[in-house]
Amino acid sequence: MTENNIQNKTETPETSAGQLTARIHSIETGGTVDGPGIRYLVFFQGCNFKCIYCHNRDTWDMKGGTLYTVETLMKEIITYAPFFRATGGGVTCSGGEASLQAKFITELFRQVHAAGFNTCLDTNGYFHYGTDQVNLINETDTFLLDIKAMDSAKHREITGFDNDRVFEFARYLRDHGKKMWIRQVIIPTYTSDDENAHALGKFIVSLGDAVERVELLAYHELGKHKWKFFNDPYKLENIRPPKKELMEHLKGIIREYFKNTY
């Protein structure tokens, strides 16, 4: 996919009344792992990556999901205000790749901030730095940055894209005083080797105090059935989730570079 194609897919439709709208796959309330405190999670339709392990295969289509306005979402979000205040929580936007609907999320985050709560963006980091995307960066408190693989060839095999722009995005956040959590899914034979872990650890060090937390997430097969629904081949058919011992070993390597690793 070319940069122009990606940019074309980031346009947010508007209703006849001029209200911003976005296509949303699903919503989860009471989340506790996708940012600080109790979270209201919004999963957006559309993704530029086509990850071979994706457990939200049904989010890829930009035309899917349900159309929401910012006002409709805020009416629901505000009902959870007591939980946000008690825990330091707020709203997390994920996907798919939520940044493809940047204009909508920027306005949503502005209203969330006006209500006194924090904002998180879960992203693959393959950013275009247009006005809408920069506005979104400025309105986001914490980024949950999913680095799919440190090796460019592996990253391309997993996602269909090189990882140069992902690293560039992480450095952009560092240089602009933004905070991030680094995440990586551990897939046996793809990201389960020591070399990848050491490379990730060194990269985290280069980001300095911009990184608040690192999470290694075990690959799972919970979304496998969705690929069958779309009649798509599942390339990880013979790959099993990593064993606990392997996960602890890799976390130990990352902790040599960054202690706040889970």
Q: What's the CATH code of the domain at 61?
A: 3.20.20.70
Indicate whether 220 belongs to any domain: no
Chain mean pLDDT for the chain: 93
User: Which run of H or E residues covers position 122?
Assistant: strand 118-123
Digit-coded pLDDT (tens) for 51-87: 999 999 999 999 999 999 999 999 999 999 999 999 9
Indicate whether 195 belongs to any domain: no
Indicate whether 245 belongs to any domain: no
Cα dihedral 54, 60, 66, 69, rounded to 10, equals 100
Total number of domains constituting the chain:
1
C-alpha span between 59 and 190 (Å, rounded): 23
CA-closest candidate to residue 236, choices 202, 186, 194: 186
User: Residue 190 pLDDT > 80, yes or no?
Assistant: yes
Tokens at 58, concatenated:
């049904």
Indicate whether 70 belongs to any domain: yes
Average pLDDT over every residue of 173-183? 98
C-alpha span between 36 and 24 (Å, rounded): 22
Indicate whether 41 belongs to any domain: yes
Average pLDDT over every residue of 137-157? 98
Q: Is 210:152 a contact under the CB 8 Å cutoff?
A: no
**Model confidence band, residue 166 (pLDDT cutoffs 50, 70, 90):** very high
Using left for φ > 0, alpha for ψ between -120 and 50, and beta otherwise, residue 255 falls in alpha
pLDDT of residue 4: 30
Indicate whether 36 belongs to any domain: yes
Average pLDDT over every residue of 128-137? 95
pLDDT of residue 228: 85
pLDDT of residue 14: 53
| Residue 143: domain span | 3-182
Indicate whether 248 belongs to any domain: no
Q: Is 109:136 a contact under the CB 8 Å cutoff?
A: yes
User: Residue 122 pLDDT > 90, yes or no?
Assistant: yes
**Model confidence band, residue 195 (pLDDT cutoffs 50, 70, 90):** very high
Q: Is 4:57 a contact under the CB 8 Å cutoff?
A: no
Digit-coded pLDDT (tens) for 208-252: 999 999 999 999 988 888 988 899 999 999 999 999 999 999 999
User: Residue 1 pLDDT > 60, yes or no?
Assistant: no
DSSP state of 224: H
Indicate whether 226 belongs to any domain: no
